[in-house]
Structure 1
Amino acid sequence: MASTLLGPAEIRDLADLLGIQPTKKLGQNFVHDANTVRRIVTASRVTEGTSVVEIGPGLGSLTLGLLERGAVVTAVEIDKRLAEQLPETVRLLQPGAELTLIVDDAMRVVSLPTEPTHLVANLPYNISVPVLLHFLEHFPSLTRGLVMVQAEVGQRLAADPGSKVYGSPSIKAAWYGEWSTAGLVSRQVFWPVPNVDSILVAYDRREPKGTEPERVATFELVDAAFQQRRKMLRQSLSSVFGSSGEASDTIEAAGLKATSRGEELTVDDFLAIARVRLAAAGS
């Protein structure tokens, strides 16, 4: 069974074959441990026939693990050399597995030939939050996911209001669903070994908090609040409302204290402020 996945020797051989030196620019750290791959696949709750989208499959470690489980995988890869090799790797190790490959920048992908229900990926550290939010925005069919990200980023995604790591990513992620950490991943299972720890983060999607205009308005408030996170909301949101007085009136009309700080508010709190603002603009 182990021969259907990639080990350290296979990873190195593939990289040599393609002339690839993993780059920090693309956040390339390849998983070479089959047990870790199977652990990720199990935690993702993917089963036979599950439609999965994978972002940045790289040399195919996680792709093969998903296919081994019987998933139907659509993979998005920006590196053309990696993209050209991946179908061949799958053909050799798991002939007959269902893989669709999209060669593009994940941040530009707004449609897919399938309607995936699961997102499972080892996300590049440098773009993990933007690409994750991009896919959640554009693919409402995604109801469940498991991503491996830098530990600090993962803890931020799953953070609750009031914690030291709670911030803009925490609130924007909460718009789409429930988030939780699902275990640390050793640095030693990657090649090259990264200088940061990794963590698994799981999410379960729920019904949208509001409309698309409400999401845009809410996210604008969140960005403003956390650009000056130490300031009170009436000050940090004054750039959005035009003055601290207008900000105070709107915040209080939403049932919140203008002296609060962004790190104390939930996504529902920010949505309440956005709705008061939108109602005033439409009246």
Structure 2
Amino acid sequence: MLGPGDVRALAAALRLRPTKQLGQNFVTDANTIRRIARAAEVGEQDTVLEVGPGLGSLTLALLPRARHLTAVEIDDTLAAALPATLAARLPHLTDRFTLVHADALRLTPDELPGPPPDALVANLPYNVAVPVLLHLLEGLPSLRRALVMVQSEVADRLSASPGTKSYGVPTVKAAWYAEARRAGAVGRTVFWPQPNVDSALVSLTRREPPATTAGRAEVFAVVDAAFAQRRKTLRAALAGWAGSPAAAEAACAAAGVSPQARGESLTVHDFARLAEARPSPPAAAPRRRRPDPDPS
């Protein structure tokens, strides 16, 4: 484990200055790290993906539990230093570890060596937490579960129920892939540097997406439209998406959803039915061919 002194010593040796741009806030409390590792329920058969390992605090706790751990790090300095940290502290387990120096927002399965990961455990950077999570759930269908630490407000959004204030686009899009629940709070004092917000753990368990003839992109398009004007009813909010308020009302009727409802009252299954019911755009009228000019 890395304590506060270890974290600061490593950072000083690397001349590292944590940046807000990369969301770098390192956990310095060993008890918090142990708690995250326990909550992740990683076992000896699990292939784990860790995003943003930083200086290696969580990596050191997960590696002895896992069959294999692949860490994805975007920062050049941290990516170069992490293997040496593990070699110094867990030399007998380095064969279980792989480092991928890449941007998790653009990560593809081809970049991950070995067996596909089945568990994601990560302290996600606050500024890209939701995009990274959704990208990985979409791009890595092998992931069966995840435990991520995010800003407390984001945790509320990911795990919210329909009809609540926190329910929104992140909730519905995450629900396409998985069932999410809050798994505990994390105070700001366990980080260096200390953030201005509290954090929380979110546990996600993969499930099948709604049975629908609409594609994921089509469902997400109606989700975005419904929440773009959150205070408006679906008849008004979906007018642009459907083509007109009347067409939006017709789509709602076909989907069994009230056109007077608002987006925050709908489940991901409701949005899938709406996507199926979207009216097709009218066919363009055929162009009339101009007569050839009179050659005479």
Common fold: TM-score over 0.5: yes
State the match for 1:70 in structure 2.
66
Match of 2:102 in 1: 104
The match for 1:195 is 196
Deviation at 1:49, TM superposition (A): 3.3
Question: Separation in 2 of the partners of 1:47 and 1:159?
Answer: 29
Query: In the alignment, residue 57 of structure 2 is paired with which amino acid?
Result: S
Distance 1:103 1:251 in 2: 46
Which residue number corresponds to residue 4 of structure 2? 8
* 1:68 partner SS: coil
Give the CA deviation at 1:53: 0.5
Distance of 2:53 and 2:219 partners within structure 1: 32
Which residue identity is paired with 1:218? V
- Other-structure match for 1:180: 181
Deviation (angstroms), 1:70: 3.4
How far the C-alpha of 1:212 sits from its partner, in A, is: 9.1
Q: Distance in 2 between matches of 1:212 and 1:243?
A: 23
Tell me the residue number matched to 1:29.
25
With over 3 angstroms needed to count, the CA separation of the structure-2 counterparts of 1:66 and 1:211, relative to structure 1, is farther
Provide the aligned length of Structure 1 versus Structure 2.
278
Measured in 2, the distance between the counterparts of 1:212 and 1:58 equals 41
What TM-score do you get using the length of structure 2 for normalisation? Answer: 0.90
Q: Distance in 1 between matches of 2:213 and 2:49?
A: 23
Moved more, 21-30 or 67-76: 67-76
Aligned to 1:149: 150
Amino acid at match of 1:170: T
What is the TM-score when the length of structure 1 is the normalising length? 0.94
1:207 and 2:208 correspond: yes
Aligned to 1:79: 75
| Alignment partners' CA distance in 1, 2:212 and 2:103 | 27
Give the aligned residue type for 2:149: M
Q: Which amino acid aligns with 1:174?
A: A
Residue 159 of structure 1 contacts residue 166 of structure 1 at CA under 8 Å; is this kept in 2? yes
Cross-structure match for 1:136: 137
Q: Which amino acid aligns with 1:110?
A: T
168-177 or 108-117, larger mean C-alpha shift: 108-117
Contact 2:157 2:167 in 1 (8 A): yes
Q: Aligned Cα RMSD in Å?
A: 1.7
Tell me, in whole angstroms, the C-alpha distance in 1 between the residues paired with 2:66 and 2:203.
20
Taking every aligned residue pair, what percent have the same amino acid on both sides? 55
| 1:236-255 alignment runs, 5 A limit | 236-255=237-256
Please, which runs of 5 or more residues in structure 1 have no aligned partner? none
